[in-house]
């Protein structure tokens, strides 16, 4: 039975305005302030924020339904804003001291991220000094904080993949986001020079995957925080791919209704090849949604039971989503190939959907070549390959 989703009902009322801003968002190469204000007006940024700070703590299936709907209006807005939301889930696994710093005086605060550990650190009393040019920080123009990746030595001298949290005053934003896809996500570079990050703002990624982080257990009544951080962090990528594919089905049908062949005047919309392509893509997108909904519902059930998934279950959660993204891209490609030359014009929604769709499969988490190896090793009882994140 489908969960009630009041947030999705609210979102539907503002989607036309966000869709109307899609072309401007691409030109500005970031999410327009108007879109951020609209989304915050319905409280979507509070989706995964702890209730202690005014958050909603909604279920993963409710959230991903909202992200998919938002992606149909503007993929880049969905990409950036979904990450601003999911980072709140990650922050809730840090100590209360950090959470008070982020939300105590500003409960509307959000964080962007750049979690690949391309930074350099120097140990110092009470924390580290971190420097780096941290790219791909989606939505950073609208965030008050940033989560950045690092490798820090533990007591045994081993390098441990970890996250540090910095306020906006500790970094500059380099405007270098010139991309083919997701132009409006504003995924710019954070330039950090010897920023001090105290220990209470640093957590090991492994601890966040195993219920060992400093914030674990802070919210004993919560249904979403007894869970590994990564599935929540990454859920938006597949939801966005799904939303784009679902919108492509609609856009293709709208275009085909009145489309005629340039040299003969024949009605292309009623041509058998177009009908067959539409039918197959419709089936494929429906299958992707069903597969994703089953996966996301399982995420939610584990969180509600306060049960951590096994390594095998995590492998399926990760790779199910990547396979669904692959399906969505294939469905989009099938339609774009038959959408005609005018679909290549920059003012065509269809070409934007095509570009943004392919970007959803370019993230490290949705790279199916990587995911197929991860699942294949798990199915054969082999140890995970440490080079596969």
Same domain, 252 and 360: yes
Query: Is residue 215 situated within a structural domain?
Result: no
Same domain, 195 and 298: no
Same domain, 245 and 188: no
Last residue of a domain, one of 72, 104, 136: 104
* Amino acid 266: pLDDT: 73
| pLDDT, tens digit, 9 for 90 and up, residues 93-111 | 999 999 999 999 999 999 9
| pLDDT, tens digit, 9 for 90 and up, residues 322-342 | 999 999 999 999 999 999 999
Same domain, 324 and 346: yes
Last residue of a domain, one of 104, 132, 156: 104
Any residues with CB less than 8 A from the CB of 114 and at least 6 apart, and which?
134, 135, 136, 137, 146, 147, 148, 149, 189, 190
Among 202, 191, 200, 196, which Cα is nearest to 161's?
202
Query: Is residue 347 situated within a structural domain?
Result: yes
Last residue of a domain, one of 88, 104, 120: 104
* Amino acid 260: pLDDT: 76
Band of pLDDT at residue 269, cut at 50, 70 and 90: confident
Among 140, 129, 115, which Cα is nearest to 190's?
140
Separation CA 50–CA 218 (nearest Å): 10
* Amino acid 252: pLDDT: 96
Query: Is residue 23 situated within a structural domain?
Result: yes
What does pLDDT average to over the chain? 96
Q: What is the CATH number of the domain that holds 187?
A: 2.40.110.10
Same domain, 31 and 173: no
* Amino acid 268: pLDDT: 76
Query: Residue 259 phi/psi, 5° resolution?
Result: -85, 135
- Both structure tokens of 60: 């993963």
Pairing between β-strand 111-114 and β-strand 202-204 as defined by DSSP bridges: unpaired
Band of pLDDT at residue 316, cut at 50, 70 and 90: very high
Same domain, 137 and 254: no
Same domain, 29 and 122: no
Does the pLDDT value for residue 387 go beyond 90? no
Least confident of 64-78, 137-151, 263-277: 263-277
Same domain, 99 and 115: no
As a whole number, mean pLDDT of residues 47-71 equals 98
Q: What is the CATH number of the domain that holds 318?
A: 1.20.140.10
Query: Is residue 222 situated within a structural domain?
Result: no
Quote the percentage of the chain above a pLDDT of 70. 99
Query: Is residue 389 situated within a structural domain?
Result: no
Band of pLDDT at residue 12, cut at 50, 70 and 90: very high
Query: Residue 282 phi/psi, 5° resolution?
Result: -60, -45
As a whole number, mean pLDDT of residues 267-272 equals 79
Query: Is residue 221 situated within a structural domain?
Result: no
Same domain, 17 and 141: no
Separation CA 210–CA 230 (nearest Å): 11
Separation CA 315–CA 371 (nearest Å): 8
Same domain, 190 and 276: no
Query: Is residue 345 situated within a structural domain?
Result: yes
How many domains does the chain fold into? 3
Same domain, 356 and 243: yes
| pLDDT, tens digit, 9 for 90 and up, residues 229-261 | 999 999 999 999 999 999 999 999 999 988 877
Does the pLDDT value for residue 59 go beyond 80? yes
Separation CA 211–CA 229 (nearest Å): 9
- Specify the pTM: 0.97
Separation CA 295–CA 371 (nearest Å): 15
* Amino acid 263: pLDDT: 72
- Contact status, residue 201 vs residue 98, Cβ threshold 8 Å: yes
Q: What is the CATH number of the domain that holds 39?
A: 1.10.540.10
Query: Is residue 41 situated within a structural domain?
Result: yes
| pLDDT, tens digit, 9 for 90 and up, residues 15-46 | 999 999 999 999 999 999 999 999 999 999 99
Residue 201 domain boundaries:
111-209
Same domain, 273 and 370: yes
Any residues with CB less than 8 A from the CB of 72 and at least 6 apart, and which?
15, 19, 243, 244, 246, 247, 250
């Amino acid at each position: 039975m489908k969960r009630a989703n009041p947030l999705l009902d609210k979102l539907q009322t503002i989607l036309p305005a966000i869709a109307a801003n899609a072309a401007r968002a691409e030109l500005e190469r970031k999410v327009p302030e108007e879109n951020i204000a609209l989304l915050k007006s319905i409280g979507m940024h509070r989706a995964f924020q702890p209730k202690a700070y005014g958050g909603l703590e909604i279920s993963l299936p409710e959230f991903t339904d909202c992200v998919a709907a938002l992606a149909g209006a503007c993929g880049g807005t969905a990409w950036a804003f979904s990450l601003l939301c999911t980072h709140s889930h990650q922050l809730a696994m840090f100590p209360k001291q950090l959470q008070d710093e982020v939300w105590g005086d500003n409960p509307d605060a959000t964080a962007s991220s750049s979690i690949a550990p391309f930074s350099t650190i120097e140990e110092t009393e009470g924390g580290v000094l971190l420097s780096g040019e941290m790219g791909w920080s989606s939505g950073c123009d609208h965030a008050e904080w940033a989560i950045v990746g690092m490798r820090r030595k533990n007591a045994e001298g081993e390098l441990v993949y970890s996250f540090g949290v910095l306020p906006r005053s500790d970094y500059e934003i380099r405007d270098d986001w010139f991309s083919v896809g997701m132009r409006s996500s504003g995924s710019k570079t954070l330039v950090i020079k010897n920023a001090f990050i105290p220990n209470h703002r640093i957590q090991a990624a492994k601890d966040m995957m195993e219920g060992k982080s400093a914030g674990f257990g802070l919210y004993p009544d919560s249904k979403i925080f007894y869970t590994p951080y990564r599935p929540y962090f990454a859920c938006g990528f597949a939801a966005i791919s799904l939303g784009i594919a679902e919108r492509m089905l609609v856009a293709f049908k709208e275009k085909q209704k009145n489309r005629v062949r340039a040299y003969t005047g024949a009605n292309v919309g009623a041509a058998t090849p177009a009908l067959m392509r539409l039918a197959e893509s419709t089936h494929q997108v429906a299958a992707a949604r069903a597969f994703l909904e089953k996966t996301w519902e399982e995420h939610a059930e584990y969180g509600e039971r306060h049960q951590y998934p096994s390594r095998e279950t995590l492998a399926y959660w990760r790779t199910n989503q990547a396979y669904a993204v692959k399906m969505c891209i294939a469905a989009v490609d099938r339609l774009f190939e038959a959408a005609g030359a005018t679909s290549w014009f920059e003012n065509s929604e269809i070409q934007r959907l095509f570009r943004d769709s392919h970007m959803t499969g370019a993230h490290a988490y949705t790279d199916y070549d990587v995911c197929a190896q991860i699942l294949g090793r798990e199915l054969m009882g082999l140890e995970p390959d440490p080079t596969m994140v």
